[in-house]
Amino acid sequence: MRKRIFITATNTAIGKTYTTKLLLKEFASRGILVGVIKLIETGVIDSHACDGEALLECVKGLNPKLWALEVEDIVPITYELAAAPFVASNNRPLDFKKIQTKIEEMEAFCDLLLIEGAGGLYVPIDEKTMMIDLISHFNAVALLVTHCSLGCINDTLLSKKALEDRAIPHAIAFNCRKTDEDFATVSQPYFLHTNIKVFKVDEDIDTLCDVLYNL
């Protein structure tokens, strides 16, 4: 089985796809054949899966073996309504077989697979499945992408505890934006005091790749 890294976040619109693209580029720069899957994407209208298309364009430029891929190979399950999959699918049971097939097809052409989730860890997918369940189901380690604005301490610790309670190996990446200039004074001191590694997506992507690859 290939190395699998699951990119999750403390919420939606935190920067999972942005981070996934940076990881793809960094791993590829090391001579690693990379692949990517976004398991589920909602808010897809007229087959226009924005995240999936961005990931497809990125990975095709990094792994020549993936030149023939279509967006359906990157995003196996899509829904039109921009909502949690449970709601967007009318609680339709998740098609694990379809996802597993796409993962196996992708892994035939790569050595490392990045799997991007949807929303946060406790986004409901169907009656029995939360997003966090997929990390263990597909035998992946996790990267938790979190924000740097006020409230990130609470959001980060809640998701961190959820991963720890499931014994899921993980790292944490802070996606700081230009408007987060107060992170160093308002939130970062707590993380430094508690010895939680503060890896920033833009500044520390090389170190993050080292950590994730060795989890």
Per-residue pLDDT of the chain (215 residues; tens, 9 = 90+): 689 999 999 999 999 999 999 999 999 999 999 999 999 999 999 889 999 999 999 999 999 999 999 999 999 999 999 999 999 999 999 999 999 999 999 999 999 999 999 999 999 999 999 999 999 999 999 999 999 999 999 999 999 999 999 999 999 999 999 999 999 999 999 999 999 999 999 999 999 999 999 99
- Residue written as token pair 């899957």: 37
65 catalytic? Reply is: no
- Give me 19's structure tokens: 């981070």
Q: State the Cα–Cα distance between residues 116 and 49, nearest whole angstrom.
A: 14
* Closest residue by Cα to residue 201 from 18, 35, 12: 18
Options 16, 21, 38, 102, the catalytic residue: 38
Per-domain residue ranges for the chain?
3-213
CA distance 85 to 83: 6
The CATH class of the 3-213 domain is: alpha beta
Q: Which residues contact 138 (CB under 8 A, 6 or more apart)?
A: 4, 6, 99, 100, 103, 115
